Amino acid sequence: MLIDLTRRTALVTGSTQGIGAAIATGLARAGARVGVNGRTGERVEHAIAGMRAEVPHADLVPVVADVATEEGARLAAEALPHVDILVNNLGVFGEADPLKISDDEWRRYFEVNVLAAVRLIRQYLPGMSERGWGRIQNIASDSAVVIPAEMIHYGMSKTALLAVTRGFAKQAAGTGVTVNSVIAGPTHTGGVEQFVYELVDRALPWDEAQRVFMREYRPQSLLQRLIEPEEIAHMVVYLASEQASATTGGALRVDGGYVDSILP
């Protein structure tokens, strides 16, 4: 399938590392002009240098802003006033005793994982609708469906993001704008690699360590390995394309079969 995103501008939030960086690189490889977002100029420039090493022709725009805040959303709009493809990837995660999580921590997860996406959708959806074309994607998680006991606060925020997606897809009905969620399964990122080695023998080589982790802690995965960030990016690039024009309001899984369901 030939995906051509030339003449399209994308913004990927939280794109200096991990899944976000892979998504930004994938969109740039398909020809899109991509806003690379992070909270500091140093992190953003370092990420852009890495992406240009992979995609020398990439058209990348630094978007230095904490988009989990109203001020950050405003700064993002100043850097990229016209966006055709919005990927709300920014998120925080972590385990905690559900009986000891403070109200402030619950609010922080909702603010970063849900309201940040809502603000940017409100900001960019009107322009997309007026132009008759747009793609909005919210990066969710298997934890939205299979709520982990040790991450109830995180799972709650990702479940809310699925609801936000479906609601805004209805708001965009008939405009040529699609709104979808991508449910990412257990993915190989730096943070997750550290998390794995907190649970399994640090002496194990990585390939073996992740398989032990999946077997003992994520046995419902059919893939039986962690997903690579580029595998999430492939779905995002497809959903950003002309070929995905009839897919909207959906929650599409790239979870390695982790969620035990025959429906999305």
DSSP 125-188: HHHHHHHT-EEEEEEEEGGGTS--GGGHHHHHHHHHHHHHHHHHHHHTTTTTEEEEEEEE-SB-
Residue 189 DSSP SS3: coil
Cα–Cα distances in Å, from 3 out to 19, 30, 199? 20, 6, 40
Q: Is the pLDDT of residue 263 over 90?
A: no
Sequence-distant (6+) residues with CB within 8 A of 107 are none
Across residues 100-118, what is the average pLDDT? Answer: 97
Neighbouring CB atoms inside 10 A of 166's CB total: 15
CB distance 252 to 235 below 8 Å: yes
pLDDT at position 235 is: 98
pLDDT at position 57 is: 94
Share of the chain above pLDDT 70, in %: 100
How many Å apart are CA 138 and CA 178, to the nearest integer?
11
Helices 206-217 and 190-199, interaxial angle, to 10°? 70
Q: Is the pLDDT of residue 45 over 80?
A: yes
- Record the tokens describing residue 51, joined without a space: 């992406």
- Record the tokens describing residue 122, joined without a space: 């409100």
Q: Is the pLDDT of residue 190 over 90?
A: no
How many Å apart are CA 129 and CA 176, to the nearest integer?
7
| Domain extent listing, the chain | 9-186+228-254, 188-226
- pLDDT tens, residue by residue, 73-104: 999 999 999 999 999 999 998 889 999 999 99
CB distance 10 to 85 below 8 Å: yes
pLDDT at position 1 is: 85
pTM for the whole structure: 0.96
Range 51-90 burial, b when 16+ CB lie within 10 A, else e: beeebeebebbbbbbbbbbeebbebbbeebeebbbbbbbb
- Record the tokens describing residue 131, joined without a space: 């132009």
pLDDT at position 264 is: 74
Give me the chain's average pLDDT, please: 96
Please state whether beta strands 33-38 and 251-254 pair in parallel, antiparallel, or not at all (unpaired): unpaired
pLDDT at position 157 is: 98
pLDDT at position 191 is: 82
Could you say which architecture CATH assigns to the domain 9-186+228-254? 3-Layer(aba) Sandwich (3.40)
pLDDT at position 24 is: 98
- pLDDT tens, residue by residue, 205-228: 999 999 999 999 999 999 999 999
| Residue 154 is a catalytic residue | yes
Tokens 């970063």 found at: 112
DSSP assignment, residue 111?
Answer: I
Assign residue 89 a region (left: φ > 0; alpha: ψ between -120 and 50; beta: otherwise).
alpha
Q: Is the pLDDT of residue 2 over 90?
A: yes
Residue of 179, 78, 89 lying closest to 128 (CA atoms): 179
Q: Is the pLDDT of residue 195 over 90?
A: no
pLDDT at position 81 is: 97
Across residues 53-72, what is the average pLDDT? Answer: 98
Q: Tell me the pLDDT band of 62, cut-offs 50, 70 and 90.
A: very high
Kindly name the residue from 154, 197, 217, 238 that is annotated as catalytic.
154
How many Å apart are CA 125 and CA 162, to the nearest integer?
17
Q: Is the pLDDT of residue 65 over 90?
A: yes
DSSP assignment, residue 200?
Answer: S
